[in-house]
Amino acid sequence: MQSTPNYLWSTEDLLGQGATACVYKARNKKSGELVAVKVFNNASYLRPQEVQMREFEMLRKLNHKNIVKLFAVEETGSTKQKVLVMEYCSSGSLLNVLEDPANAFGLAESEFLIVLQCVVAGMNHLRENGVVHRDIKPGNIMRLMGEDGQSVYKLTDFGAARELDDDEKFVSVYGTEEYLHPDMYERAVLRKPQQKAYGVTVDLWSIGVTFYHAATGSLPFVPFGGPRRNKEIMYKITTEKPPGAIAGVQRQENGSIEWSYELPVTCQLSAGLKDQLIPILANILEADQEKCWGFDQFFAETNDILHRIVVDVFSLQQASSHRIYIHSYNTTTKFLDAVFKQTNIVPHHQEYFFEGHLYELDPNLQAHNFCKTTEHNPLTLLSTAEQPEDVPGVRYRDPALEFPKFVPKVDVVADCGAAKSAVGAAHQTLRIARALQRCRELLARGLHWVIGNLKTDCSRILEQRRGALSVLACLQLTERVSPVGAGPGAPAGTGSVRSSQPDLPPHPQVAEELSQCSHSIFDFQGVLDGILSELVKHRQQVHEDKSIRQIECCLEKMQLIYKQFKKARMWLGYNEEQIHKLDKQVFGVESQGDVKSASWMVHRCRTFRSEVLELPAISDEDVGKPLQTWGQGVAAEPDPCVGLLLRSAPGVGMTAQLSIPACGPLAPETSLSSSSQLGFVSSVTLMENSLLSTPCPLLHSRASFRSPAMRTVMSIFMHLRK
């Protein structure tokens, strides 16, 4: 145990360790409050006195919720070592979060935005006080849970910090290799003499690497063998990076560098957020300090993201979810343009549903007045275009590419690393399966809404048809009983009444066409009822599907084995070694179970269409052709009474001009892999087949519907809306 006059701690409660100090969890002797104490070692006293006092002065000067607070500076009773008493962050650091296998492919979007907001706010406070940190990295960003249950991130470790204005330079080198600015890396790591001075933009480079790491789970610049083993190539990658590139990886020894200009597909961030973030990363990950953004522009662009609101949109034909980042003051026009950028559906072909009803957006409506959407309750987008859009589609990277192979021999360190990678891949598989499940639910719900609106339109058309029949009856009566004039000079009222002509057909073609309209609408309603009943069955199957739970159970077992591997000693006895081998076998079995459950989920999504829409009695001839013939017949009829009818009943006019375009042949099917081929590779093949070739089980991904009946339904819907 060690202590100061007011605090007590055990040397076993180590929180972190650096070159000049160790950090322990401690308690206040009077209140019992938990704090973190930074105890400096003998090496720290070899530094100049000015440097030793710098961290104390920095922390006393700074006061912000996103910077770790300094409570006191005390000395140990025996050795008189300096001790910083600071705020205790119980949830570790951002590095601890990223090392969790659940975040092997980066943070969830909501958590990343919290990191972005906290780091930007903390850095803004540093710049307002003229401080440069010089050692920003995930390990120096602490985390604690707020009272609202959300994470709060705080900058810490100001041992390398110093006061520096925007136009000033410094020459001393601090920092951690992977996050160092290339100019500092050349001098500190490669030990090459140089006379360069460094400005405040070195912090921006470190922030860029940190944000990329948080978004993707990996470092942006990785030479073959890793940054610590291949330092010359590491420097080459960072200094020769093309403009606009945000990552560079060397996959083979002496191989070429693969440059990336986008965040990887495995990243959990939405396309909407990626589009906002990539330009920022490209401009702060700039080795040339003259070309790199300044802090003013960095703060402006990051705050622009943080001040936007999110509108969740689900594209029905494309079966894809989108997050639209817009400002609260933006109008519908701006929103529709943003949706077009992600879906390729032009604004005038965008139609929205929300909670079962058609949702009309006034062109001047501001975004803060839109309905409140979530990932599970988005605006449902329907394209009214007759020609298919160029659909971007939904893509997933095969988790099998991240799934390692266990070595046959017992190697505790290697096995633990392999298990960690496997658990990370399993978490990614679970996320993909949940996305597919959500897709199935939103597809079924969206189609249910479309059918409901179609049935409402059918009822409205039938009501207008009854009104048209009333007008027709009036016309018939007018023609049967009409006054016959007595002559040019005869007084009014002296005419005679023409006798009725019961044998004359009263506009037979108009009556016949109206009758055909009724029969066609009734037939179409029957088609909708049939599809609706099948849809109800499918939605029940979605709720009864156990695939997600099976994957979760497999993952839980894998995590238990991984934790056991982490606890294992470097050397194992005979019995412990046998247990270790058995755990490896069980781990592999559970991994396969995880994969098969995910593949089954993809299979269910893929066969959605066949479960709901394989209705052999419904075809173009059953629905489309009668309505098409009827529409062409009425449109070609020159009878003046029809014109009078259309002028008297505008709704019937719209109905009479309705024509259903001919439906094309059924699109070719994509075969599924057999159960014996199920695995990570086949599961992603299925994902690509189901999400790229036919991402929507009910609607073809390029608006060419799989079933003639379904295409007819949607064609009628488009015309009714027009």
Residues forming the active site: 135
Crossing angle (nearest 10°) for helices 412-480 and 574-606: 10
Token duo for residue 402: 């991240």
Residue 25 marked in a binding site: no
Exposed/middle/buried for residue 474 (C-beta within 10 Å: 0-12, 13-18, 19+): exposed
CA atoms of 379 and 351, how far apart (whole Å): 10
Phi-psi region of 175 (alpha: psi -120 to 50; beta: other; left: phi over 0): left
Structure tokens at 489: 């000079």
Q: Which H or E run includes 27?
A: strand 21-28
- Report the C-alpha gap between 336 and 326 in whole angstroms: 11
Non-local (6+) Cβ contacts of 509 within 8 A are 637, 639, 642
Report yes or no: 272 and 109 within 8 Å, Cβ to Cβ. no
Question: Is residue 85 classed as helix, strand or coil in its secondary structure?
Answer: strand
d(CA 191, CA 185): 9
Backbone angles phi, psi at 154, to 5 degrees: -135, 135
Q: How many CB atoms lie within 10 A of CB 50?
A: 9
How far is residue 449 CA from its own chain's centroid? 24
Nearest-angstrom CA–CA distance, 225 and 171: 30
What do you get for the CA distance between the two ends of the chain, in Å?
80
Angle formed at CA 265 by CA 91 and CA 563, multiple of 5 degrees: 40
Distance between CA atoms of residues 522 and 68, nearest Å: 70
> Which has the closest alpha carbon to 163: 127, 135, 130, 133?
130
Q: How deeply is 297 buried, as exposed, middle or buried, from its count of CB atoms within 10 A (0-12, 13-18, 19+)?
A: middle
Q: Are 666 and 711 in contact (CB under 8 A)?
A: no
Q: Which amino acid is at 100?
A: D
The two three-digit tokens of residue 96, written as one number: 């601890």
**Token pair of 391 as six digits:** 């659909």
Under a CB-based contact definition with an 8 Å cutoff, are residues 201 and 294 in contact? Answer: yes
Known binding-site residues for ATP equal: 38
